Amino acid sequence: SEYMAKRAGELGLRAYIGPMYRDGRWYTPDGRQVCYDWDEAAGRESFRQAVEFIETHSGTYNDRIRGFLSPSQVDTCTAELLQETHALAEQLDVPVQIHVSQSVNEFQTMLQRHGKTPLAWLRDIGVLSPRVLLGHAIIIGGTSWTNYPAGDLAIIADAGCPVAHAPWVFARRGIAMESFQRYLDAGITMTLGTDTSPQNIIQAMRWAAVVSKIVDRNTEVATAREVFNAATLGGANALEREDLGRIAAGAKADLLIFDSATLNMSPMRDPVKNLVYYAEMEDLHTVVIDGETVLEKGRVLNVDQQEVARRLQAAGERMWPKMAENDWAGREADQLSPLTFPAWVENEA
């Protein structure tokens, strides 16, 4: 987190950074059951370090870097840790983000522990409010994923919590929010995220729109306007920032300028629809953050992108041989994620 804050600041980025902390971790001994290993002392120490990070870095680099509190997952945090987090967030006036209702196992685990859904438990211990951003919140009551009575959407809406939806990371595993439009219709502030690579907000808008249309079997839901608003105003509103996510008097000069004359963007009648349904990242021409140009003609100005790509490749090659160390069955990378086609091997004969 210290490195991220420093690099983001030096590169001219705007970022909210929150070191994660938790009281326990989940693991599987056999690929069938999920167990939890608890260490509340370690959780409290990580919580202390997260608070120290906020106090040290929030507001630095001309206020482009800010912190938030990030208890990791609902099933790996005690009620006491979450209640202290919520109270301190009010005191420090910072957002909170927690992963919740992100898997069937988590949903069933919380039902077994407390006799209520993850969201109902968070409500009952008093830690839901408009400053609490819910990560994912897909596996909820009233959906085909749980076969459990509805009510979770109303809990989110009544508390005023925004939801961070990362459609691609779930859709690629055959999981869909049911549905983006239902959350909007419930009055919930929807935001978009990526969760992992690729960190591509255009893809996030596109997948949010298309998956919702498929789930609802309705082309008129999750419109380009609605997913565009989620990617801009939704994120700003979730952070309670009226100076972000919009072009308006008093707002920060954070701008993305797309080339409207590319093949992807032509012909153009509605720029927002073109952006959501057709644009690619190579159509991005200029990025301005806090009034400073950081990307021009598709190139980041103060980063050697080829060097970054080389280092990423090297990091992957260091990690892949170690996959077996972190898999319950000791499986190698080629077993966990087989190559699409066999590698080419020359005939030595």
Q: Give the tens place of pLDDT for each residue, 4-46.
A: 999 999 999 999 999 999 999 999 999 999 999 999 999 999 9
Mean pLDDT of 324-329: 94
Please choose, from the candidates 280, 294, 276, the residue with its C-alpha nearest in 3D space to the C-alpha of residue 14. Answer: 294
What does the mean pLDDT of the chain come to? 97
Amino acid occupying residue 163: V
The single residue listed with the structure tokens 């990560």 is: 135
Residue 349: pLDDT band by 50, 70, 90 thresholds? low
CA–CA gap between residue 125 and residue 74 (Å, rounded): 12
Q: Above 70 in pLDDT, residue 170?
A: yes
Return the DSSP state at 38: E
Check whether the bond before 267 is cis (ω within 30° of 0). yes
pLDDT tens, 85-129?
999 999 999 999 999 999 999 999 999 999 999 999 999 999 999
Q: Above 90 in pLDDT, residue 307?
A: yes
Residue 345: pLDDT band by 50, 70, 90 thresholds? confident
* Cβ 276 vs Cβ 267: under 8 Å: no
Give pLDDT, residue 310: 98
Mean pLDDT of 241-268: 97
CA–CA gap between residue 83 and residue 152 (Å, rounded): 20
Q: Above 70 in pLDDT, residue 218?
A: yes
Angstrom distances, CA of residue 52 to CA of 32, 58, 185, 262, 290 = 38, 10, 39, 47, 26
Q: Above 80 in pLDDT, residue 56?
A: yes
- Assessment of whether the complete model's pTM goes beyond 0.85: yes
Q: Is 270 left (phi over 0), alpha (psi -120 to 50) or beta?
A: beta
Dihedral of CA atoms 138, 143, 147, 152 in degrees, nearest 10, equals 70
Percent of the chain past pLDDT 90, that is, above it, reads 96
Domains belonging to the chain, first-starting first, are 2-247 (3.20.20.140)
DSSP letters for 218-245: -TTSS-HHHHHHIIIIIHHHHTT-TTSS
Range 239-267 burial, b when 16+ CB lie within 10 A, else e: bebeebbbeeeeebebeeebbeebeebee
**3-state secondary structure at position 212:** helix
Q: Taking CA 136 as the corner, what is the angle to CA 133 and CA 138, rounded to the nearest 5 degrees? A: 130
